Amino acid sequence: MRNEIWEWTGFNAMEPRVAERSVVHDGQVEVRIRAIGICGTDLHIMSGHAEFAPPPLPLGHELAGVVERVGAGVTSWRAGDRVCIDPLTGCGKCGECQSGNKHRCPDSGEFGLHYPGGWQRYMVLPHANLYRLPDSISFEEATQAETLHCCLGGIDKLNVRIGEHASVVGDGPTGLYFVQLLKAAGAGKVSFIGMRDSRLKLGQELGADAAANINSGDSQLPESESQDIIIDAAGTESSLALCIALLKKGGRLLLFGLPGKPIAADVQTIVLKELNLLGSTNAPGVWPRVIQMMASGQVKVKPLLTHAYRFEEMDKAIAFARSQIDEAVKIIVFADDTKGELR
Ligand SMILES: [Zn+2]
Ligand SMILES: [Zn+2]
C-alpha cells in the first residue's frame, strides 16, 4: 500500500517521496491526514534555526484527519473516526508522564519535530495521541488545536481575574489566539501590540479592545506600568523590554515566544517591580477544553486561515510561508480529494 511523503532534506530544501505505508503495531492507529497547518517552527527547522532531529524527515505537527486502520488492542478508535492529533509523546512511565505532564518527560518528543510528522498521506502514531473531532469543527480548523492548546495552557497559568488589564505583544497566530483567550478568561481591556496593521486589525475584529503598532511611535501603546498581565508572544529582547515597562508593579508576564538564543533582560527592574515571570510550552491536560472551545465558537480559528494549498503543492506552500506576507496568517495544506480551497 502506497504512501506519499514530503520530506525536509536539508537547508530550506524538501522533496516528495513515495514509500510503503507503515505497519500498524499494537496500540497504534493509522490516520489518513486531511489537513496540515504550516507553522513558523517548520520554517525554523528547515532553515536550521531550530534543531530537533537531522534530515531527512517529514515535518508537520498541526494535523487532523480520519482514522484508517487500528492496531491490535485499540478499542477506543475505529476506521472513519474524525480526529485531531496531539503530536507530543512521553515515555508513559516516569513521574511527569504519570501526572499528566508528558511535555516534561526526559524522553519527550514530538511528531514533526523529533519523529516523522504529518507531511504524509498516512501517518501511524499511538492511539493515545488522538482526540475526537465533533462534526462542527472542520479538519482545517482542527489543525489549530495544537497551537491553541499551548496558548490555553499559558492562559491557565496566568489566573486571569475578571476586569484585569492585559496586553498581548506579538501579532502572529498565537497572538491572535491569546487575544481571544484573554477575553474569554474575563480580562477587562485587552491591548494587542504588534508590527503589522492588517494583523492588528484582525486582532480587534477578534476582540482586542485596543491595538498599537510599535513602528508608529508610542502614542497607541498602553501607558507604562498600566498592565496587570502581559503575554510576550514575540520573544525578542525588545518585546521583553516593552513588557517589563508596561507591567504594573506585581504584574504577571507570560513568556511564550521563543527567542532562539539567550537575550538580555533588565533584571533590576523585574526585581524592583516584583514582577512574576512564567514560562510556558505545552499543556497536555487542556486538549479536551480546546476542542470544546472551538466547537462552541468561544475561540475562532477560521479568520486566521488565510491561504490553502494541495498536498502536491507542499513546496509551494512552504515557499509562500517563507515570504512572510502580512496577509498570510495561517497556511493550510489539504491532503484530501478537495481542490485545496478553504470552506
Ligand atoms: Zn506549531
Ligand atoms: Zn515520561
pLDDT digits (tens, 9 = 90+) for 207-224: 999 999 999 876 789 999
Say which CATH number the domain at 124 has.
Answer: 3.90.180.10
Helix residue ranges, H only, 48-94 = none
Q: For residue 258, which of 144, 112, 150 has the smallest C-alpha distance?
A: 150
Q: Find the 86 Cα to ligand 2 centroid distance in Å.
A: 16
Provide the b/e sequence for 187-204 (b: ≥16 CB within 10 Å).
bebbbbbbebeebbebbe
Residue 229 is placed in which grid cell? Answer: 498581565
Give the whole-angstrom CA distance, residue 130 versus residue 103: 16
Q: Do residues 39 and 100 both lie within one domain? A: yes
Q: Which ligand is nearest to the CA of 96?
A: 2
Closest CA to 174 of 229, 233, 230, 87: 233
Per-residue pLDDT averaged across 19-46, rounded? 97
pLDDT in tens, 98-134: 999 999 999 999 999 999 999 999 999 999 999 999 9
pLDDT at 284: 95
Does 64 share its domain with 188? no
ipTM: 0.97
Residue 278, strand partner residues: 254
Q: In terms of domains, do 105 and 211 share one?
A: no
Q: At what angle do helices 145-158 and 173-184 cross, to 10 degrees?
A: 50
Say if residue 342's pLDDT is above 80: no
pLDDT, position 218: 67
161 and 134 in one domain? no
Is 16 in the same domain as 72? yes
Domain housing 205: 152-279
Ligand 2 centroid distance, CA of 93 (Å): 5
What is the mean pLDDT of the segment spanning 288-297? 97
193 lies in the same domain as 323:
no
How many domains are there within the chain? 2
Each residue's pLDDT tens digit, 249-274: 999 999 999 998 999 999 999 999 99
**Domain co-membership, 6 together with 139:** yes
Distance 62 CA to ligand 1 centre (A): 6
- Rounded to the nearest angstrom, the distance between the alpha carbon of 107 and the centre of ligand 2 is 6
Banded pLDDT at 340 (limits 50, 70, 90): low
In this structure, the answer to whether residues 206 and 102 fall within a common structural domain is no
Do 21 and 133 belong together in one domain?
Answer: yes
In a domain, 294, yes or no: no
Q: Are residues 157 and 250 in the same domain?
A: yes
pLDDT at 35 over 90: yes
